[in-house]
Structure 1
């Protein structure tokens, strides 16, 4: 199974998911998204919304796992590895963060704000350089877990069915796992299942960041261990804390969502705010952590 994960990562790193392919057939995540949206429209009404949300989770996960299991059983691990390729997002994550880093380094706040708004949910219309760098680094750290390490982990554990199920769960969480009046009950099972699915990968990501940080590795682990529990998410605080410790900056803290200010606690709060150079350092750090993950997968496949 480690071979499936390793090949998927290599293919993603080399070519990503080409725009021409996306325009023609979309992407597996968008296919799952259409099913989730249809079930949300059809079931998220009336009574027993929590039970209907649980039924949605079962339907979506099975819709992802069963075809993946049949393909792997009938066509073998090499085909499974190729089909797992679009479910790893290392190249896409790197491209989205570089789209922020380049204008930020050039002092183009308008361009950096526009690029940051594509990857975070908070209001960045008035954000300065430290706020933009902080938001982008948090997104980079969290999505390195959700979009790269977690899919690789579940591919290594369960092959194509494992990574397909994980991406279905993660997509459900992003679409219906919100504490809003509409999705508080309906999305509860999806949100809790996503927390469970990311429990190990988030901590693995923190460890990989620490390894990639070299001499700052112990600082990365120290901050993650000390501060992750104060994060609003049971998992995101681990890679974000490791990132903060590795770079010697602070992350999280208060942020604005629409007309609401969320008073989030700081990670590594006594350190300075990040700048444009720290965002570039963070991108390089995640690249090294991803390479380490790939090497570990290759070693696992050869063992």
Structure 2
């Protein structure tokens, strides 16, 4: 194992430990929050055109990557500090504890107080929650949980592992997070954003293309008795969603758990299956938790090789 890979493995393990044991850092020092502020700053000054959107995307990615690189370089004034800074920055690109806890908390609240659950749901989903039934709210949590497994965990780790051998793992993960944050903030087909957010949205589709398809293997392995159904339904229903990527993990999760998922007025996955109940949220959380464990194990092995 070369020194670079050894350091990459140490940074990865520290980042995972940070996430699981501590969770999200305070908003004022969260790197992704600062990326979001940069996007907001540039958006306020950019025209609603594709060219402006391309320039915004290039600027956000370049500034984010350069800032992360320089922070790690600056930390070399003290031993061990570069590893800690690198781990802190890498941790900001994925959110294991936050995703699992938020999903579980909303699942419990749906059982206790549906109106309060509707107020909590926007932390996970972008749809209107005011008229959702219990089944639709449960579906929304499971959809978001499986989709965010890719976007918020698998993809940044994938790019970290892919570029770690050439010493650019952290930079690749940060670049992905910058793209993902742009998509979540301006990647909408709305007046003023359709053209400006086009580059960010297309980059997000491209960046998640491979991880989304890898996710069905990990989801299948996470629950072996539902593996065949997970793979079969992912290939059958992946194109039912507007996104070219989100349908893969969502359909795989629905197939593994043998439930129906629906975004009212948008799509239905596995319509022949029963609607999800709140208990299915916890089954889905367990499924994704196992898939995350497999992801971390695979990443560890790749860095060792």
Asked if structure 1 preserves the Cα contact closer than 8 Å seen for 2:239 and 2:247, the reply is yes
Q: Is 1:117 aligned to residue 127 of structure 2?
A: no
Which residue in 2 is equivalent to 1:276?
278
Which residue in 1 is equivalent to 2:35?
32
Which residue in 2 is equivalent to 1:267?
269
Q: What is the CA-CA distance between 1:70 and the residue it aligns to?
A: 3.9
Which residue in 1 is equivalent to 2:170?
160
Q: Is 1:226 aligned to residue 236 of structure 2?
A: yes
Asked if structure 2 preserves the Cα contact closer than 8 Å seen for 1:100 and 1:115, the reply is yes
Residues of 2 paired with 1:26 and 1:62: CA distance? 20
Matches within 5 A, 1:1-303: 3=9, 4-18=11-25, 21-22=26-27, 25-45=28-48, 49-72=49-72, 75=76, 79-106=85-112, 108-158=113-163, 159-253=169-263, 255=264, 263-303=265-305
- Residues 122-143 of structure 1: per-residue CA shift (max 9 Å, x gap): 2222322111100111111111
Q: CA separation of 1:243/1:146 partners in 2, compared to 1, >3 Å: closer, same or farther? A: same
Residues of 2 paired with 1:114 and 1:91: CA distance? 21
TM-score (norm 1): 0.89
TM-score (norm 2): 0.88
Q: What is the CA-CA distance between 1:246 and the residue it aligns to?
A: 0.9
Count the aligned residue pairs. 287
Structure 1: where are the runs of 5+ without partners?
A: 256-262
Residues of 2 paired with 1:56 and 1:126: CA distance? 36
Residues of 2 paired with 1:149 and 1:7: CA distance? 17
Q: CA separation of 1:6/1:222 partners in 2, compared to 1, >3 Å: closer, same or farther? A: farther
Structure 2: where are the runs of 5+ without partners?
A: 77-81, 164-168
Asked if structure 2 preserves the Cα contact closer than 8 Å seen for 1:177 and 1:187, the reply is yes
C-alpha root-mean-square deviation of aligned residues, in Å? 1.8
Asked if structure 2 preserves the Cα contact closer than 8 Å seen for 1:105 and 1:277, the reply is no
| SS at 1:180 equivalent | coil
